[in-house]
Each structure stands twice: as structure tokens, then as C-alpha cells.
């Protein structure tokens, strides 16, 4: 099917993009990699009057360390993140996630900002950002604001971003010593969205006690979700079997999977616990090896 008619803008600055987006409000849709938007347009599931193509705006594609934080530009494609030495060295959960998004074509075109703004509840970026405590920088006519990841995802394909705002950057605090993470996902076939995805970040002290934990899950509810109860149980624990078992059980309270074409809700519930245990163990091993 062909998309409905729309006007097409290709601004060359962020200010211009914001001005156009603000002028048309909900009738305008930013276009990044087009991996989600183009199919939606062709199926006429979304019918914007205006497309604002962000790809001619310079300076929105990067992954760099700035003082005590990692910043990733919204237009950075998944494969550039995957190939980043910085990410590989210090942000393992992100590296795990981007390496398994779709296929090479999707990773070459799909962007970090596009994935987060699209807010598919089975997407990988959302789970990871919830686990590592990231925030999103959004720029609109009123200036910029930072939205913590737990406040960003509000419902299925819905976010706290206003229609006249553009996501420009993702920010993540640099990990402290003995802090690392992992993301594991169960997919029916290679390249599929997550049936269940679990991201875990743990910070250990010199006695191997978990001083901080972040858990994000995809595929188990209307949004990517935080495993708040499990985080609470792991903090202050030695990550021994009783603590891990209690944390895995507590996921039941935090997730709300539904039955769909991928799997029954009960299967997703069970797999969330299995993948949580595996991701936690991998994160713990990595954090133990991490001395920087």
C-alpha cells in the first residue's frame, strides 16, 4: 500500500526542525531511520500531514564519554553503537542489546532516538536504558528538558515526549568501579523482537556485596518495565541463591505480560525469570572482572 499524501520537510538545523514540528504539532512526525515509521505509513496506521526528516541535521550522531557520562546522539544508528570501542569496553548491556536488534539492514538504518521514541514494548533499547538509569534529552519550542527513562515510557507506543519535541540525546552515568551489566533476549528466530528481554546492571563493593542494581525488561507488558522489587531485594545482598530466587520471584509483581502471537503470558512470565537469572549472573561476572 502507498502512504497517504503528506508534506515533506528536510530541515538542516535542530532549531528549524523544532520550529516545523511545533508549527504542525500532532500532525507532524519526525523521520529518523524509517524502520518503524515507513511501514506504519505504508499500512496507513499513521497518517501525518507532515514528515520532518531529521537526517540532514548535523551533529546528532555520536557516542562519546563526556566527563562522568556517556552521551549518544539520537540519530546514531544501532550498528555505529555496536561498533563503538567505548561501548564495548564499558557499557556491556548496551553492546549486548544493539548486536541483536533486527538484522544488519535494520541496525544500519534504525536509530537510538527512533527506537526510544517509537516505544515498542518489546524493543531492546528501552529495557537497557531502564536498567542503566539513562535519561533522554528532548528539545521543543520551550527549550530542552531531560526525562528519566522510567518516566519516558507511558503506554504502548506512548511516551512522555510532547508532539512538538524532538529526542536529541540519550545520557547515561559512567559506571563506577566493579559495575557492569548484561542484556539477554529470547527471540523466536534470529532478528526477531524480544519475546522476553532482560537487562541487568549491578554495582559491587570490594566484598562482592551488591550496592546497586538496575533491572529493565522488554516484552512483558505495555511498556518496557523496571524490575523495581527485584532491584530492592538485590541491593545490599551478596547475590547468593536465596537473594536471586527472591528477586526472580518478585518479578511477578513488576511485570504484566499478555498473550500474543509470540507466546502465552505465562510462558513469558516463566522466561522472564530464567533470563533474569542468566543476565544477572553474566552482569555479576563482568562487574567482578571490572576494575576501572
121 near ligand FAD, rule: CB under 6 A: no
Which is closer to ligand FAD, CB of 111 or CB of 290? 111
167 near ligand FAD, rule: CB under 6 A: yes
Phi first, then psi: what are they for 11, rounded to 5°?
A: -65, 155
Please give the Cα distance from 292 to 287 (Å, whole number): 10
Question: How many residues are recorded in the chain?
Answer: 292
93 near ligand FAD, rule: CB under 6 A: no
- Max distance between CA atoms of the chain, in angstroms, equals 62
Min dist. Cβ of residue 72 to ligand FAD (A): 12
Stretch of residues binding ligand FAD (CB under 6 A), selected from 26-34, 173-181, 250-258, 261-269: 26-34
Of the candidates 110, 83, 234, 94, the residue with the CA atom closest to the CA atom of residue 174: 94
**CA trace torsion 156, 158, 159, 165 (10° rounding):** 160
Min dist. Cβ of residue 213 to ligand FAD (A): 23
Distance between start and end Cα atoms, the chain: 53
Non-local CB neighbours of 261 within 8 Å, separated by 6+ positions: none
193 near ligand FAD, rule: CB under 6 A: yes
166 near ligand FAD, rule: CB under 6 A: yes
Stretch of residues binding ligand FAD (CB under 6 A), selected from 110-118, 143-151, 202-210, 248-256: 110-118
* Site residues, ligand FAD (CB under 6 A): 29-37, 54, 74, 101-102, 106, 110-111, 113-115, 117-118, 120, 123-125, 166-167, 193
Amino acid at each position: 500500500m502507498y502512504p497517504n499524501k503528506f508534506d515533506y520537510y528536510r530541515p538542516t538545523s535542530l532549531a528549524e526542525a523544532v520550529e516545523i514540528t511545533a508549527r504542525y504539532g500532532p500532525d507532524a512526525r519526525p523521520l529518523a531511520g524509517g524502520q518503524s515509521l515507513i511501514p506504519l505509513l505504508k499500512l496507513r496506521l499513521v497518517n501525518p500531514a507532515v514528515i520532518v526528516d531529521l537526517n540532514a541535521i548535523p551533529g546528532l550522531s555520536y557516542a562519546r564519554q563526556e566527563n562522568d557520562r556517556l552521551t549518544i546522539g539520537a540519530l546514531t544508528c544501532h550498528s555505529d553503537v555496536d561498533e563503538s570501542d567505548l561501548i564495548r569496553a564499558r557499557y556491556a548491556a548496551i553492546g549486548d542489546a544493539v548486536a541483536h536488534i533486527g538484522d544488519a539492514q535494520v541496525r544500519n538504518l534504525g536509530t537510538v532516538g527512533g527506537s526510544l521514541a517509537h516505544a515498542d514494548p518489546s524493543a531492546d533499547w528501552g529495557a537497557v536504558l531502564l536498567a542503566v538509569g539513562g535519561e533522554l534529552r528532548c528539545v521543543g519550542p520551550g527549550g530542552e528538558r531531560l526525562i528519566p527513562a522510567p518516566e519516558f515510557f507511558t503506554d504502548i507506543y506512548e511516551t512522555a515526549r510532547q508532539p512538538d519535541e524532538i529526542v536529541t540525546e540519550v545520557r547515561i552515568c559512567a559506571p563506577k568501579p566493579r559495575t557492569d551489566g548484561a542484556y539477554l533476549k529470547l527471540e523466536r528466530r534470529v532478528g526477531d523482537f524480544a519475546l522476553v528481554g532482560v537487562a541487568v546492571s549491578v554495582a559491587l563493593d570490594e566484598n562482592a556485596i551488591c550496592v546497586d542494581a538496575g533491572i529493565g525488561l522488554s516484552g512483558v507488558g505495555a511498556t518496557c518495565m523496571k524490575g523495581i522489587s527485584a532491584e530492592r531485594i538485590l541491593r545490599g545482598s551478596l547475590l547468593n541463591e536465596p537473594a536471586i530466587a527472591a528477586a526472580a520471584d518478585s518479578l511477578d509483581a513488576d511485570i504484566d505480560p499478555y498473550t500474543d502471537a509470540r507466546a502465552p503470558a505465562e510462558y513469558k512470565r516463566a522466561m522472564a525469570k530464567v533470563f533474569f537469572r542468566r543476565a544477572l549472573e553474566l552482569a555479576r561476572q563482568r562487574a567482578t572482572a571490572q576494575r576501572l
